[in-house]
Amino acid sequence: MFSFGEKATNDGSDANATLGIDEAYLSVINNYNRSITFYSIVSECRLCHGIPQANLSAQNNTTLIIPTKYPLHMYYTSDNEQCHTTYTFKEHGSYGWNLSAEEICSEIYVINEPSNPYLPLLAVFIVFILSIIASIIARIIVKTIKGYFWRNMTYVHDDLARLQESETPIQAAIRTTRLSTRIQSIDTFRGIAILLMIFVNNGGGKYVFFNHSAWFGLTVADLVLPWFAWIMGLTMTISKRAELRVTSSRTKIILHNFVRSLTLIALGLVINSQHTKYLKDLRFPGVLQLLAISYFVCAVIETVFTKTHPQFGRFSMLGDIIENWVQWLIILAIVALHTLLTFLLPIPNCPKGYLGPGGYDHFNKYSNCTGGAAGYIDRYVFGNHMYNKTKDPVYGVISRYDPEGIMNTMSAILIVYLGVHAGKILLHYYQCLLKMFRWLLWSIITGIIAGFLCNFSKEDGIIPVSKKMMTISFVLTTCSFAFLLFAVLYYLIDYKQIWTGAPFVYAGANSIFLYIGHSITMDLFPWSWKIAEPTHSSLLAMNLWTTVLWGIIAYGLYKKDIVITV
């Protein structure tokens, strides 16, 4: 639970110097002739009892330090009457609330105006837009100058040059590098995902939308892992096509993918070992482990069932689906198994189909049911070798649960294969508009299905959106955005060539290297440092610097034509 504190002053007027990030003052004046217990709970914990935060003495003023990250639900009981109110406090503001029998649930008023924590974000956005505009103008000027000098250039030895050309034809040499043969929109998409992942993993300036959702809902940070898995599936389609053309041994391809997956799992364990002292507590699941297993499953399916020379005839418009009907049956079987386990697996002292966090959720009825079937399976299989944080800032004490556990890995398989299908569209259709139409159609279809599953809301519906649980509605929502984003990138970069993809394209060429590198150096200088009194501004500046520094490293590798793969 977000911590509360009391301050010895009576008016809450001098507080900003001691307030931390996402904190404010609330001066509560109790005009009753007896003490009152003050309860509160953040609104993110929708089905939760309030937690007693302070005992308000009779005829006294108590100033509390309250959290501002989410709207706060507060209440107190007096003479068999309850006063409930929800208020959105702003960071570093000072507020007052008068409690009296004459006016139950009086309005909360502002004593000192809060600061605006989003001004640094606005400044960064303006600088970013101005940089883009300056870059475009510079390119236009350079292009104009080059064109002017080219048109006015004279050649002194034109006759000799023509004679030499007639006697010895010279063919222009085109320099081919590892990076020049890659599809720019793919690297740009992957670069957006990895740089965003680096930014949010380092804290994202402590802004709520740059951090993962508490349990339900969707934030910017929740998009990065699904997008990375999705684009991994898209590139798999291209690589499998190339591998099957080089060798006819599908067993050899599967073994190669198996070794690659084992390497990713080993690297994931190395990263996890930074956060534990003893082998008995080493976390087995992780981001790289989830990517490795979901990649291997889809790679095996693709390697075994992909046809090297598909024939569609009159059904060519549905070729991307017809060619993969066996693969889709296997993927849908995995999704069906995931759904059946989620809603039918019996869990001791827990309801079937529970998808919540436990703890305070559902008024403490299912406090030990964190993650439902997914959490139960992970605790049974991994024991101590899983995510060990059990004190949640919103839902209180919860059971151990791993966001990259077994069930979530099953969900990731669907994400990867939706990316595979996007790659099939890229390869099977030659006209750009036809490709874009199909990507946009898949974006709409997956988005509508996700909307029906979650009832187009945050916490309702049959299957609500939850990154922690990697629910099917979450998978389809994030993939809907992925289809949309890639369609736009492909149109701008590879078709119209309006944009080169810079600076994201550089990071996309070495995404795994950047992920591992930032995970190992996360708390090391010059990537980051300790800040004595952190604020949104100081943390945003440091997190942006970390991201930019890795972008510079990626640019250096790109210019040297270095691609580090696993």
Residues 6+ apart with CB under 8 A from 221: 200, 204, 209, 210, 211, 212, 213
Residues 6+ apart with CB under 8 A from 552: none
Contact 252, 286 (CB under 8 A): no
Q: Are strands 36-42 and 51-56 parallel, antiparallel or unpaired?
A: antiparallel
Rounded to whole angstroms, the Cα distance separating 264 from 497 reads 34
User: Which residues on adjacent β-strands are paired with residue 61?
Assistant: 29
Q: Could you say which of 49, 73, 157, 212 is catalytic?
A: 212
Contact 41, 360 (CB under 8 A): yes
DSSP-assigned letter for residue 495: I
Candidates 352, 357, 330, 329; CA nearest to 342 is 352
**3-state SS class at 452:** helix
Q: CB atoms < 10 A from the CB of 262, how many?
A: 12
For 454-458, the CB contacts below 8 A with 24+ separation are: 458/216, 458/217
H or E stretch covering 369:
none
**3-state SS class at 155:** coil
Assess whether 212 carries a catalytic annotation.
Answer: yes
Residues 6+ apart with CB under 8 A from 121: 205, 207, 540
Contact 408, 470 (CB under 8 A): yes
Rounded to whole angstroms, the Cα distance separating 20 from 69 reads 12
Q: Are strands 72-78 and 391-392 parallel, antiparallel or unpaired?
A: unpaired
Rounded to whole angstroms, the Cα distance separating 552 from 506 reads 9
Candidates 197, 220, 184; CA nearest to 515 is 197
Rounded to whole angstroms, the Cα distance separating 492 from 490 reads 6
Contact 9, 63 (CB under 8 A): yes
Residues 6+ apart with CB under 8 A from 117: 22, 90, 91, 207, 536
Rounded to whole angstroms, the Cα distance separating 554 from 563 reads 10
As given in the structure block, the two tokens for residue 537 are 């501004």
H or E stretch covering 394:
none
DSSP letters of 501-564?
-TTHHHHHHTHHHHHHHHHHSTTSTTT----SS--HHHHHHHHHHHHHHHHHHHHHHHHTT---
DSSP3 helix / strand / coil % (the chain, rounded to 5): 50, 10, 35
Residues carrying an active site annotation: 212
